[in-house]
Each structure stands twice: as C-alpha cells, then as structure tokens.
C-alpha cells in the first residue's frame, strides 16, 4: 500500500519527504499545497522530478465530483467518487456567519437508525482523514468560496471511525493547513458513549451534537438500535462528562416524526429528562422535521404540532430551535443521493 500523504501530520510528512531523499523544506511546501486542495500538477514550486516521485510512490486520495446539485437557496449537494469508486455525499451551505461544509465520515453506516438513508445498505468502509479533508477542499475550490465552518454530520457515524475523525479535525486545525478553529467545527454522534468519553479527553473544543430523537428508552429503541447498547441515562451521563471537561454546550438533535415522538407530552417528557439528567448544564435542542425517505413510512408532523412542541420545551426552560431547511429541493439529506446512485448501477 502506498502511503496516504494527505492524511499525514506535518511531522509525519517531513519524515516521509526525508525518506524519499528530498530536503526538509520541501515538506513544508508540500503540506501547504496538499491542504489547499492542489493536485501534484499545480504544485508550482516543487520540482517536476519530486512530483513524479510522489505520483509514483504516494497516494493522495482526493475525491472527484460525480454529481453536483445546486439548490435555489444556494446550497450545493455533492456526490463524490472516492479513489476506489465508492460514493459519498457532502453539502456546502452558506450562512450569515460564513460557509459550512457538511462532511461524511464513512461510506454508508452500520448504526441502523430507522429514519436515515445512509444506513440502508449498511457500512461499506470508513473514510481516511484525507478523504474527509478532500470533501472540504474540493467543495471550496469548486464554489470558489472560503469554508469557515465544518459539521461532521454527513453519512456515517464519526465515533465508529474515531482515529481518522480526530486526525481530520487536528489537520483542519493545523496552522499551515486551513487553520480552522475547533469552535467552528461540530461533530454529530448517534451516542456511542465510549467515543464521547474519549473525545472529551482529546482537548479539542469541538461542539458536540448528540442525536437523541426520543425522550424515553422505549421510543428510542424503536428508531435507534444503538440505544439498546447505550441507553439514554448512560448517554446523558457521558454528555455531562463532556461538558464538564470542555465547557462546551451540547446540542441535541431531535427529528420530529409524526405520531412517534412529536406530541406535547413527548416535549414535556424530553424537558424533564434533560433537566433531571443534566442539571444546570446549558443545552440546546435542534428540532428537525423528519425528512421522509421512500424506504420507510415516517412522516413529519404539521407545523402546528412542531410549534406546540417548541412552546412546551421553552415553557419548561429548554432552549430549542427548528432547523432551517436548506436544500430541500435537491435531496440534501445525506444518504439519499448515494442510495439513488446504487439503485441505478
Ligand atoms: N451518525 C451521526 C451523523 C448522522 S447525520 C449521528 O447519528 O448523529 C446528522 C443528523 O441527521 C443526525 O441527527 C441524524 O439522526 C439526522 N437524520 C438522519 N436522517 C434523517 C432524516 N431522514 N430526517 C431528519 N433527520 C435525519
């Protein structure tokens, strides 16, 4: 296997460059080029001979644009092809505060959430740090707009690919790379508590989003199989630990599914749960009217039900917002484009 030089930290790249008989300062040049998303051909201050050596001996696992869908609201959805022919999805979104890329961490997913399109065909493989970076660099170069925020909320479960995801974040963070602050990075997990505990000790002040989606274990078991292994109380205890170590507010995602978890009673139960398990902790609930996928018959409730849900949470002192739907006209929910592509092939 050829070494993946886009996944290397600066010191590792330096060692590699020395090992192929090149001088140390070349590695700084190479690192900058790699992390601006430039291919070997564009690395103008690196001698052709060295570029040829790299082309032959090293791997730069960049993603290529297979499909691109542009929404009326400016959101861009990409179906990317990996070097081995696998497909992944990313979304580019513009907000008042900057531009965000939603990154996939795996090809497919094995968590089995009932409402999610990414998990329909199971897990194919995890992505290397380079392949996560390349989603960002390719979207940035294609749109010509600087990316300021990253959300790891695409296909896959980031804590099921823990080491590569942490490497990805550290590389985003590196001064000679994008130099992106951890405060501009969010990571969403379905609730692998071991991952949350480990991540709390990494010293990376990333915003953690936790996919909760139900106020009781019975309801959560029914939509998220992962709950049988890591039930709600255990999950919330890990969240409390994360807050205590990082001081970062936790955001809970809650997909509103008609007749399953969107009643006023559910909202009251959710508020009581968060208050009792996370006393004094600042939390935010991000409500997402479920995006129906054709393989399942989950429906979103009407606007009134959503408004009542929000009002009930707020009455009980729980901060909540309904997620703005970007790119609804282009199937921007992750997993849908890939599922369609797999069907066609
Ligand atoms: N594996 C991570 C990232 C998944 S995608 C996690 O589970 O958090 C990001 C968010 O979208 C998660 O909260 C996920 O549960 C949610 N999601 C997936 N499919 C959805 C759908 N059809 N409608 C609404 N939200 C969905």
Q: What is the average per-residue pLDDT within 131-151?
A: 98
Residues 6+ apart with CB under 8 A from 226: 111, 112, 113, 190, 191, 192
The confidence score (pLDDT) of residue 93 equals 95
Question: Are 156 and 127 spatial neighbours (Cβ–Cβ below 8 Å)?
Answer: yes
Q: What is the average per-residue pLDDT within 28-40?
A: 97
Residues 6+ apart with CB under 8 A from 53: 20, 22
Q: Which of 225, 228, 229, 193 is nearest to 210 (CA)?
A: 193
Q: Which of 206, 213, 291 is nearest to 252 (CA)?
A: 213
Q: What is the average per-residue pLDDT within 62-89?
A: 95
Name residues contacting ligand 1 (CB within 6 A): 113, 115-116, 153, 157, 188-190, 211, 253, 255, 288, 290-291, 293, 333-334
Same domain, 132 and 92: yes
The confidence score (pLDDT) of residue 293 equals 86
Same domain, 118 and 10: no
The pTM of this model reads 0.95
Return the ligand 1 atom nearest residue 292 CA.
22
> Which residue's CA is minimally distant from atom 17 of ligand 1?
116
Share of the chain above pLDDT 90, in %: 89
The Cα–Cα gap between 84 and 63 comes to: 10
pLDDT, tens only, 303-315: 999 999 999 999 9
Instruction: Give the domain-ending residue among 36, 57, 78.
Output: 57
Residue 210 banded pLDDT, cuts 50, 70, 90: very high
The confidence score (pLDDT) of residue 332 equals 60
Same domain, 49 and 75: no
Same domain, 33 and 91: no
Q: Which residues pair with 67 in a beta bridge?
A: 79
> Which residue's CA is minimally distant from atom 8 of ligand 1?
189
Instruction: Give the domain-ending residue among 34, 57, 80.
Output: 57
Quick check: 236 pLDDT over 90? yes
The confidence score (pLDDT) of residue 254 equals 97
Quick check: 22 pLDDT over 90? yes
Quick check: 134 pLDDT over 80? yes
Return the ligand 1 atom nearest residue 213 CA.
15
Provide the 8-state DSSP code for 59: B
SS3 content of the chain, % helix, strand, coil (to 5): 45, 20, 40
First to last CA, the chain: 28
Q: Please indicate whether residue 89 is annotated as part of the active site.
A: yes
Same domain, 337 and 296: yes
pLDDT, tens only, 162-200: 999 999 999 999 999 999 999 999 999 999 999 999 999
Instruction: Give the domain-ending residue among 20, 42, 57.
Output: 57
Report which secondary-structure segment, H or E, holds 81. Answer: strand 76-81
Same domain, 242 and 138: yes
> Which residue's CA is minimally distant from atom 22 of ligand 1?
291
117 Cα to the center of ligand 1, angstroms: 9
Same domain, 69 and 42: no
Locate 313 and state its tokens.
């949470």
The confidence score (pLDDT) of residue 73 equals 87
> Which residue's CA is minimally distant from atom 4 of ligand 1?
153
The Cα–Cα gap between 90 and 70 comes to: 12
The Cα–Cα gap between 323 and 334 comes to: 15
Which of 151, 188, 235 maximizes ligand 1 atoms within 8 Å of its Cβ, making it the mutation to test the pocket? 188
Share of the chain above pLDDT 70, in %: 97
Same domain, 72 and 36: no
How many domains does the chain contain in total? Answer: 2
Same domain, 22 and 153: no
More confident residue, 336 or 13: 13
Average pLDDT, the chain: 95
CA distances from 310 to 264, 298, 319 (A): 9, 20, 9
The confidence score (pLDDT) of residue 339 equals 80
Q: How many CA atoms lie within 13 A of 123 on its CB side?
A: 16
The confidence score (pLDDT) of residue 48 equals 97
pLDDT, tens only, 266-285: 999 999 999 999 999 999 99
> Which residue's CA is minimally distant from atom 5 of ligand 1?
153
Say which CATH number the domain at 47 has: 1.10.150.530
Structural domain containing residue 24: 5-57
Say which CATH number the domain at 107 has: 3.20.20.70
116 Cα to the center of ligand 1, angstroms: 6
Same domain, 103 and 43: no
The Cα–Cα gap between 269 and 193 comes to: 22
Which of 103, 211, 287 maximizes ligand 1 atoms within 8 Å of its Cβ, making it the mutation to test the pocket? 211
Same domain, 11 and 147: no
336 Cα to the center of ligand 1, angstroms: 12
Quick check: 15 pLDDT over 70? yes
Which among 10, 89, 131, 157 is annotated as catalytic? 89
Which of 100, 103, 115, 116 maximizes ligand 1 atoms within 8 Å of its Cβ, making it the mutation to test the pocket? 116
The confidence score (pLDDT) of residue 331 equals 65
Quick check: 322 pLDDT over 80? yes
Same domain, 325 and 196: yes
In angstroms, how far apart are the furthest CA atoms of the chain? 68
The confidence score (pLDDT) of residue 295 equals 84
Q: Please indicate whether residue 113 is annotated as part of the active site.
A: no
């Amino acid at each position: 296997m050829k070494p993946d030089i886009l996944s290397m930290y600066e010191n590792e790249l330096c060692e590699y460059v020395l090992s192929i008989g090149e001088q140390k300062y070349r590695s700084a040049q190479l690192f900058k080029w790699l992390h601006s998303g430039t291919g070997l051909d564009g690395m103008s201050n690196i001698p052709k001979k060295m570029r040829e050596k790299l082309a032959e001996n090293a791997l730069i696992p960049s993603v290529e644009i297979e499909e691109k869908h542009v929404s009326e609201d400016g959101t861009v959805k990409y179906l990317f092809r990996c070097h081995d022919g696998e497909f992944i999805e990313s979304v580019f979104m513009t907000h008042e505060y900057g531009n965000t890329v939603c990154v996939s961490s795996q090809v497919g997913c094995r968590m089995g959430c009932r409402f999610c399109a990414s998990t329909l065909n199971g897990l194919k493989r995890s992505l290397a740090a380079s392949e996560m970076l390349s989603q960002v660099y390719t979207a940035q170069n294609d749109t010509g707009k600087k990316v300021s925020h990253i959300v790891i909320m695409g296909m896959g479960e980031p804590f099921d690919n823990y080491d590569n995801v942490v490497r990805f974040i550290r590389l985003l963070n590196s001064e000679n790379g994008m130099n992106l602050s951890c405060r501009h990075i969010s990571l969403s997990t379905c609730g692998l508590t071991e991952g949350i505990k480990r991540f709390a000790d990494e010293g990376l002040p990333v915003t953690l989003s936790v996919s909760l989606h139900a106020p009781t274990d019975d309801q959560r078991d029914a939509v998220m199989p992962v709950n049988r292994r890591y039930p709600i109380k255990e999950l919330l205890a890990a969240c409390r630990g994360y807050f205590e170590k990082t001081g970062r507010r936790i955001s809970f995602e809650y997909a509103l599914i008609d007749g399953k978890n969107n009643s006023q009673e559910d909202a009251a139960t959710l508020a009581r749960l968060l208050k009792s398990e996370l006393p004094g902790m600042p939390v935010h609930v991000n409500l997402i009217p479920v995006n129906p996928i054709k393989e399942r018959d989950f429906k979103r409730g009407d606007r009134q039900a959503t408004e009542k849900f929000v009002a009930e949470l707020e009455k009980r002192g729980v901060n909540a917002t309904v997620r703005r739907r970007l790119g609804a006209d282009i199937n921007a929910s992750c997993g849908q484009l890939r599922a369609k592509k797999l069907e066609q092939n």
